[in-house]
Structure 1
Amino acid sequence: MSQGEFDIIKRYFQRSTNKVDGVEIGIGDDCAILDVPCDHQLAVTTDSLVSGVHFFEDVDAYRLGYKSLAVNLSDLAAMGATAKWVSLAITLPKIDEVWLAEFCRGFFALADKYNVKLIGGDTTKGPLSITVSAKGLVKTGQALTRCNAKIGDVIFVSGCLGDGALGLLVKLLATETELFTKDNQQAFVNALELTEPRLHLAKLLVGYASSCIDISDGLSQDLSHILNKSQCSAEITLENLPFSDAILNEIKLDHLSLSQVWQHAVNGGDDYELLFTIPADKVSAFKALLNTQSKYDDLACYEIGKITKQKQIECEKLTTASAVSSILFTYLQQPVDVNSTGWDHFK
Structure 2
Amino acid sequence: MFVDRVEVEVIAGRGGNGCMAFRREKHVPRGGPYGGDGGDGGSVVIRARSGVNSLVEFAHQRHWRAENGAPGLGANCHGRNGQDLILAVPPGTVIIDKASGIIIRDLVNDGDEIIAARGGRGGWGNTHFKSSTNQAPRETTDGGQGEVRRIILELKSIADVGLIGKPNAGKSTMLSRLSRARPEIADYPFTTKFPNLGMVSVDIERTFVMADIPGLIEGAAQGHGLGHDFLRHIMRAGILVHLVEPMPMDQTDPIENYLAIRKELEEYSEELAARPEIIVVTKSELPGSDEVQAKLKETTGRDDVLLVSAVTGSGLNILVSRVADLLASQKLLAK
User: Which of structures 1 and 2 has the larger relative contact order (alpha carbons within 8 angstroms, sep 6+)?
Assistant: 1
Q: Sort the TM-score into its range (normalised by shorter chain).
A: under 0.3
Higher relative helix content: 1
TM-score normalised by length of structure 2: 0.23
